[in-house]
């Protein structure tokens, strides 16, 4: 068993600043930027948000495979993280510094810049995730390490998700979006520097070498029943969260008619994770990671259903329901990220082949696909509801569009979360690993008593 010093836990967690910022802001800001400033139709805007992340769906396993084959035995993943993090900050900022007219040219610039940022993000996020399976071999330590990561990740979501809309609204127009982009780029750089320096000199606990061809190794990963079940459950929830993140600005502007409510709702949504993630970790220690994930999912679904109250136009029920969603979201972030290194390390132990980066890449690719499908699905729902795009001030929306907005952040994502419980119930690895860890602890306790 390998416990980690606090310096390494904190250092690893700081990478969550970069992934939290980049994972949140495009989903929160990009669709309103396209529809309400550049005059792009909602369905097309949803597809622009979707396309680069769909590209990462194919690229991430390749990025993982490349990092698996790194010849730097001591710092296998870290150089990828440093280089990609710097490029990510630059590419993200560039998305908001293109032409603003005509809409076709503006949309094309955003698409190309977003594709570039998605490409370099693959070489940041996949090696970053893979590290969690290589720097400790302890079932419980992985949960402790990911607890720190989720707290920092959530703080990054909170800061970037609250600050991005606030900066846009404060400065207004294209200037607001560009100031916001520079600020978010700085956050990405801070996270990159943190994980680079914080994890220096940490020894790797897994020494298996990569082998085989890309597609043959990918097929092996996808044939694993536990990997499939966990990925399907997580992707369904990623679609749900992508819809909520993409829709919160629309709810504030067109249903509550107070743009500032987007910031408060976002704080209520992600804030509980800062306080409650350690509590979810303790629950997971008692119930196991899979059962803890189930409880968190049910809690999140209940809060999403309660978001139907937003249709009244009253901000208070909206904020209360967002808080309940946030309670569940804290656990729904912790447990799957703690289960991923279990999957990867167990595969390496069983097979003797290093597929840790590829498994992380498959996971990250499907995760991004889910988060991309969320805004795309939301755009479709808004279009079916008759949402009206504009090129400046928000256009008045018909009653059908307001209902579409509310359903797109409440009932539809709630159903997706509840459906995710079906594949999650078929994930078996956690029970086996937990039993093995408990047996090892009992043996250690017996040896200590005898000694």
pLDDT band at 169 (very low <50, low <70, confident <90, very high): confident
Omega prior to 350 cis, within 30 of 0: no
For residue 210, what pLDDT is reported?
60
pLDDT band at 157 (very low <50, low <70, confident <90, very high): confident
> For residue 75, what are the contacts with CB-CB under 8 A and spacing of at least 6?
none
Query: Is pLDDT above 60 for 1?
Result: no
Query: What are the angstrom distances between the C-alpha of 283 and each of 156, 273, 393?
Result: 24, 14, 47
Between 355 and 276, the higher pLDDT residue:
276
Residue-range definition of the domain harbouring residue 217: 11-442
Given a contact cutoff of 8 angstroms between Cβ atoms, the answer to whether 44 and 38 are in contact is no
Given a contact cutoff of 8 angstroms between Cβ atoms, the answer to whether 281 and 144 are in contact is yes
Where is average pLDDT lowest: 60-74, 162-176, 230-244, 313-327? 60-74
For residue 257, what pLDDT is reported?
82
Give the pLDDT mean for 420-430.
93
Tokens describing residue 74: 């001591």
pLDDT band at 266 (very low <50, low <70, confident <90, very high): confident
Query: Is pLDDT above 80 for 186?
Result: yes
Query: Is pLDDT above 60 for 244?
Result: yes
Query: Is pLDDT above 80 for 446?
Result: no
Question: What's this model's pTM, rounded to 2 decimal places?
Answer: 0.77
In a domain, 448, yes or no: no
Separation of alpha carbons 402 and 391, rounded Å? 19
pLDDT band at 278 (very low <50, low <70, confident <90, very high): very high
In a domain, 111, yes or no: yes
For residue 343, what pLDDT is reported?
84
Instruction: Count CB atoms within 10 A of the CB of residue 443.
Output: 10
In a domain, 450, yes or no: no
In a domain, 124, yes or no: yes
Which candidate, 117, 119, 128, places its Cα nearest to that of 80?
128
For residue 396, what pLDDT is reported?
78
- What is the domain count for the chain? 1
Query: Is pLDDT above 60 for 448?
Result: no
For residue 2, what pLDDT is reported?
57
For residue 208, what pLDDT is reported?
60
Query: Is pLDDT above 80 for 445?
Result: no
Query: Is pLDDT above 60 for 212?
Result: no
Give the pLDDT mean for 324-347.
89
In a domain, 366, yes or no: yes
Tens of pLDDT, residues 116-131: 999 999 999 988 988 8
For residue 449, what pLDDT is reported?
58
CATH number at residue 383: 1.20.1250.20
DSSP string, 341-400: HHHHHHHHHHHSS--HHHHHHHHHHHHHHHHHHHHHHHHHHHHHTT----SSSPPP--HH
In a domain, 5, yes or no: no
Instruction: Count CB atoms within 10 A of the CB of residue 432.
Output: 12
Query: Is pLDDT above 90 for 60?
Result: no
In a domain, 2, yes or no: no
Give the pLDDT mean for 393-421.
88
For residue 86, what pLDDT is reported?
96
Between 417 and 72, the higher pLDDT residue:
417
Query: Is pLDDT above 90 for 268?
Result: no
Give the pLDDT mean for 14-42.
87
Given a contact cutoff of 8 angstroms between Cβ atoms, the answer to whether 137 and 205 are in contact is yes
């Amino acid at each position: 068993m390998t416990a980690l010093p606090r310096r390494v836990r904190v250092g690893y967690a700081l990478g969550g600043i970069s992934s939290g910022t980049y994972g949140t802001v495009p989903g929160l800001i990009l669709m309103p930027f396209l529809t309400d400033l550049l005059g792009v139709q909602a369905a097309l805007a949803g597809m622009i948000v979707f396309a680069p992340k769909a590209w990462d769906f194919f690229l991430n396993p390749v990025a993982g495979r490349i990092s698996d084959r790194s010849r730097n035995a001591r710092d296998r993943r870290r150089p990828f993280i440093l280089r990609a993090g710097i490029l990510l900050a630059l590419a993200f900022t560039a998305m908001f510094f293109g032409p603003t007219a005509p809409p076709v040219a503006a949309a094309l610039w955003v698409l190309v810049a977003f594709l570039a940022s998605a490409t370099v993000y693959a070489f940041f996020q996949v090696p970053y995730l893979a590290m969690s399976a290589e720097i400790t071999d302890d079932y419980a330590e992985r949960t402790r390490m990911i607890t720190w990561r989720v707290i920092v990740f959530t703080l990054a979501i909170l800061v970037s998700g609250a600050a991005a809309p606030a900066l846009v609204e404060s400065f207004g127009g294209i200037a607001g979006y560009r100031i916001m982009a520079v600020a978010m780029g700085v956050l990405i750089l801070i996270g990159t520097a943190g994980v680079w320096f914080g994890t220096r000199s940490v020894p790797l606990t897994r020494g298996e070498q990569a082998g085989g061809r890309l597609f043959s190794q990918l097929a092996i990963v996808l044939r694993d029943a536990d990997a499939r079940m966990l990925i399907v459950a997580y992707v369904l929830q990623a679609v749900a969260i992508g819809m909520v993140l993409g829709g919160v600005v629309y709810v504030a502007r067109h249903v509550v008619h107070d743009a500032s409510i987007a910031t408060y709702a976002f704080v209520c949504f992600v804030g509980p994770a800062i306080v409650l993630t350690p509590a979810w970790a303790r629950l997971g220690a008692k119930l196991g990671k899979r059962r803890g994930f189930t409880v968190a999912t049910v809690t999140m679904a209940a809060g999403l259903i309660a978001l139907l109250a937003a249709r009244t136009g009253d901000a208070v029920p909206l904020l209360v329901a967002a808080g309940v969603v946030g309670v569940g979201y804290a656990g729904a972030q912790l447990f799957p990220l703690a289960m991923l290194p279990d999957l990867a390390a167990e595969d390496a132990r069983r097979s003797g082949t290093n597929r840790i980066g590829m498994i992380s890449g498959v996971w990250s690719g499907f995760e991004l696909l889910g988060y991309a499908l969320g805004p795309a699905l939301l755009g479709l729902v808004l279009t079916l509801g008759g949402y009206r795009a504009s090129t400046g001030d928000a256009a008045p929306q018909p009653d059908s569009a307001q209902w579409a907005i509310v359903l797109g952040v409440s009932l539809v994502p709630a159903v997706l979360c509840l459906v995710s419980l079906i594949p999650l119930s078929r994930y078996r690895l956690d029970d086996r690993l937990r039993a093995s860890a408990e047996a090892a602890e009992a043996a250690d306790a017996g040896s200590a008593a005898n000694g």
